[in-house]
Amino acid sequence: MTTYDIALIGFGGVNRTLAELIATRGGELRRDLGFGLRVVAITDLRLGSLVRGEGIDLEKALRLVPGAATFRDHGGSAEADNERIIRTCPADIICEATFTNPTDGEPAASHVRWALDSGKSVCTTNKGPVALHGAELKAMARQNGLHFEFEGAVMSGTPVLRFAKRLFPGLSLHGFEGILNGTSNYVLGRMEDGLSFDEAVREAQQRGYAEADPTADIDGYDVQLKVLILANELLGANLTLADVKREGISALTPGDLRQAGSEGRRWKLVGSARRNPDGTVTAQVAPAALPLDHGLAGVSGANNAVSFSTDLLGAVTVAGPGAGRMETAYALLSDIIAMHEARSRETANA
Ligand SMILES: NC(=O)c1ccc[n+]([C@@H]2O[C@H](COP(=O)([O-])OP(=O)(O)OC[C@H]3O[C@@H](n4cnc5c(N)ncnc54)[C@H](O)[C@@H]3O)[C@@H](O)[C@H]2O)c1
Ligand SMILES: N[C@@H](CCO)C(=O)O
């Protein structure tokens, strides 16, 4: 049976949860999926790095508390040393889950380049490299006969990208609108319940929904990246960050939310894009007070939903979890499953 050796770049909420899944459910996964997973390298800014060709003891690695210990105490190094480890470790697949940088996608984009340049496929939940360097990185993967998968970059474990790519050939897609950030949606809901803005953000952080800097969620930068990914991947647009107008929810007050409630409306942060008659695509992120019978008004908590406007089917809506450690770790697993399926098809056709 095939075993994929993987390297975890960034050992925070998402990659730790993937490691937990492999440690606790590796046997079941092997039986159900027809392949095994072995973690041979881990790097993290706060923990340093560890490489073990025979496989890392994940239970031991998961017990390390950032700030209190590093991999140096366990035969590794206190430095992340990403370039050397990504290029030289014996992994088949790199799972990139470091901080999203909404401005230039670095250093994660370099992590992806180093992997693809050294013969390793990549799956990532990091929106930066996909939104800001997606075309380059997909081409690099293709040229090198490797995979670059990023289902978790939009709507975490809810497979919106694969779903849309399978559904839309044969249809014309006019555009989409959606709730694409779990944190801001959770915060708006908790403010409606009476929590202060700061309390609601703290809860979203504790639940593992928020970015390392939650202003990325609140001020719409996170949705800006996701709109860019959806527009470029699904509408065939060639947009850059500056093409997606952005406004977040930080100006909304509890009074605004109460007022909307009394008018039968609910404030939501909506990301959207539409194809214009001349073929160009217009995209934006902005708060909107939606009437309660609007399809997106009932999306609650950290859930997300995106409604695609199509010619033959009308509106097609995909809804599900939009954030969370397990939900996003599952997205990485789904990427590895997609790579395995592609590899099995290639072998069958050879
Ligand atoms: N948590 C979610 O719900 C969710 C959902 C979808 C996508 N994402 C994305 O997945 C990624 C990881 O999310 P998370 O919740 O695990 O974040 P996190 O903050 O819990 O973990 C990130 C980890 O990466 C490490 N790191 C940062 N820069 C690094 C570098 N240059 N080299 C090595 N390590 C580095 C940090 O020390 C931290 O441990 C982010 O890009 C996030 O935007 C998260
Ligand atoms: N911080 C993001 C994680 C998912 O990309 C959110 O809250 O939606």
Q: How open is the CA angle 107-113-115, to the nearest 5 degrees?
A: 105
Q: Which residues are catalytic?
A: 226
The domain that contains 191 carries what CATH number? 3.30.360.10
Residues in the chain, how many? 350
Q: How confident is the model at residue 335 (pLDDT cuts 50, 70, 90)?
A: very high
* Chain segment 111-147, per-residue pLDDT in tens: 999 999 999 999 999 999 999 999 999 999 999 999 9
Cβ < 6 Å from ligand 2: which residues? 156, 181-183, 209-211, 217, 222, 322-323
pLDDT at 214: 96
Does residue 213 sit in the same domain as residue 235? yes
Backbone φ and ψ of 75, nearest 5°: 85, 5
Question: Ligand 2: which of 202, 209, 226 to mutate, most ligand atoms within 8 Å of CB?
Answer: 209
Q: Which of 43, 40, 89 is nearest to 66 (CA)?
A: 43
Kindly report, residue by residue over 229-252, the tens digit of the pLDDT: 999 999 999 999 999 999 999 999
My answer on whether 222 and 340 are in the same domain is no
Write the pLDDT tens digit of every residue in 139-188: 999 999 999 999 999 999 999 999 999 888 889 999 999 999 999 999 99
Do the Cβ atoms of 84 and 45 come closer than 8 Å?
no
**Same domain assignment for residues 313 and 330:** no
- Ligand 1 proximal residues by C-beta, below 6 Å: 9-14, 43-46, 80, 82, 97-100, 107, 125-127, 152, 156, 208-209, 211-212, 323-325, 328
Residues 116, 164, single domain; the answer is no
Q: How far is the CA of 229 from the centre of ligand 1 (A)?
A: 18
Q: Which pTM was predicted?
A: 0.97
Domain co-membership, 125 together with 197 = no
Ligand 2 midpoint to CA 70 (Å) = 27
CB 322 within 8 A of CB 155: yes
- Given a cut of 90, whether residue 103 has pLDDT beyond it is yes
Look at ligand 2, atom 3, and give the residue with the nearest C-alpha.
323
Tell me: do 169 and 95 sit in the same domain.
no
The neighbouring-strand residues paired with 132 are none
Considering the domain architecture, whether residues 81 and 171 belong to the same structural domain is answered as: no
* Residues 285, 331 within the same domain: no
Does residue 172 sit in the same domain as residue 316?
Answer: yes
Q: How far is the CA of 211 from the centre of ligand 1 (A)?
A: 8
ipTM for this prediction: 0.99
User: How many domains is the chain partitioned into structurally?
Assistant: 2
Query: 310 is in which domain, residue-wise?
Result: 160-322
- Domain CATH for 102: 3.40.50.720
Note whether 148 and 62 are same-domain residues. yes
Q: Does 107 share its domain with 182?
A: no
Burial class (CB in 10 A: 0-12, 13-18, 19+), 308: buried
Residues 344 and 270 in one domain: no
Question: Looking at the CA of 226, which ligand is closest?
Answer: 2
C-alpha 209 to ligand 2 mean position (Å): 6
